[in-house]
């Protein structure tokens, strides 16, 4: 449901591993769906959600998160008893419980978030090995069906994912800090240049490009993520402001020792990250 970078990559990965017989695609743009069929990403496509999921054993929500409930409401009449619904969204929290309540009897929803993708979107960027070696967080609730949970964990492992099961609210706390905040900062950095003189961006080097690469990500997608994870984002933004404020004071007060201490603290933690 949604044949962009992640949706198309899920389809390609499942086809490569031979774990499905037929793949149907749904989307808002028929031109994109036709291309997905022509390139062998999907076998058939539909413009109506309920028609797209008819007879499916597995449904993967790959639209922007802001459309999940709308698409689910539209497709639920076509869901087959015994089928499983999952997603690839970057936000979980209460959205998981909301989607659970929308499932018809005999249909189970299990949230999941493969930590894969990039700053470029669309089916032309899709890869069958996108999930190989990638962490995949699966977010069940106390109401989740045990067999459905095992099936979704097996799905992500089969396409190369490193599966970790996590509470959906803890998921949002963690990714507000290590994923959602960096995107907001990247957008703000580029907008800072824009506010002073857009022409000066032409002088940027590798450091600016590396730091702001994710500002090329879909504004629609990150708008939805920012709104869904609003409370957690506001908390981490406050802490970020405190850290930026300390650096600002050091610069303002010509505190060379304090500035080096702030930079060294960040360097030490960053050096411990796996590349």
pLDDT single digits (tens) 37-93: 999 999 999 999 999 999 999 999 999 999 999 999 999 999 999 999 999 999 999
Output the six-digit token pair for 18.
């031979």
Same domain, 235 and 202: yes
Chain segment 101-160, per-residue pLDDT in tens: 999 999 999 999 999 877 677 888 899 999 999 999 999 999 999 999 999 999 999 999
Give the strand pairing for 135-139 and 111-114: antiparallel
By three-state DSSP, how is residue 24 classified? Answer: strand
Same domain, 157 and 180: no
Cα(223)–Cα(184) distance, integer angstroms: 10
Cβ neighbours of residue 98 under 8 Å, at least 6 residues apart? Answer: 69
Same domain, 78 and 189: no
Same domain, 191 and 108: no
The total domain count for the chain is: 2
Cα(114)–Cα(49) distance, integer angstroms: 23
pTM, to two decimals? 0.92
Cβ neighbours of residue 99 under 8 Å, at least 6 residues apart? Answer: 61, 68, 69, 72, 85, 87, 109, 111
Domain-terminating residue out of 148, 166, 184: 166
Q: Is the dihedral of CA 4, 34, 124, 8 positive or negative?
A: positive
Domain enclosing residue 101, as ranges? 5-166
CATH number of the domain residue 133 falls in = 3.40.50.720
């Amino acid at each position: 449901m949604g044949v962009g970078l992640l949706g198309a990559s899920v389809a390609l990965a499942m086809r490569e591993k031979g774990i499905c017989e037929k793949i149907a695609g749904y989307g808002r743009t028929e031109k994109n769906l036709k291309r997905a069929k022509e390139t062998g990403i999907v076998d058939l496509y539909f413009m109506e959600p309920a028609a797209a999921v008819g007879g499916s054993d597995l449904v993967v929500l790959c639209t922007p998160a802001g459309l999940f409930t709308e698409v689910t409401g539209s497709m639920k009449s076509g869901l087959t008893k015994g089928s499983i619904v999952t997603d690839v969204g970057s936000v979980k929290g209460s959205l998981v419980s909301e989607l659970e309540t929308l499932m018809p009897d005999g249909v189970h929803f299990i949230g999941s978030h493969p930590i894969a993708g990039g700053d470029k979107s669309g089916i032309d960027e899709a890869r069958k090995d996108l999930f190989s070696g990638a962490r995949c967080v699966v977010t069940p609730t106390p109401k989740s069906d045990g067999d459905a949970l095992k099936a979704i964990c097996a799905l992500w492992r089969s396409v190369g994912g490193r599966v970790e099961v996590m509470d959906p609210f803890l998921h949002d706390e963690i990714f507000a800090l290590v994923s959602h905040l960096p995107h907001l900062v990247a957008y703000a950095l580029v907008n800072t240049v824009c506010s002073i003189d857009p022409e000066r961006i032409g002088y940027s080097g590798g450091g600016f490009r590396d730091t702001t690469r994710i500002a090329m990500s879909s504004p629609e997608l990150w708008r939805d993520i920012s709104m869904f994870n609003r409370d957690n984002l506001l908390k981490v933004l406050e802490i970020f402001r405190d850290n930026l404020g300390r650096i600002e004071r050091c610069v303002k007060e010509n505190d060379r020792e304090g500035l080096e201490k702030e930079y060294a603290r960040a360097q030490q933690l960053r050096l411990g990250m796996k590349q």
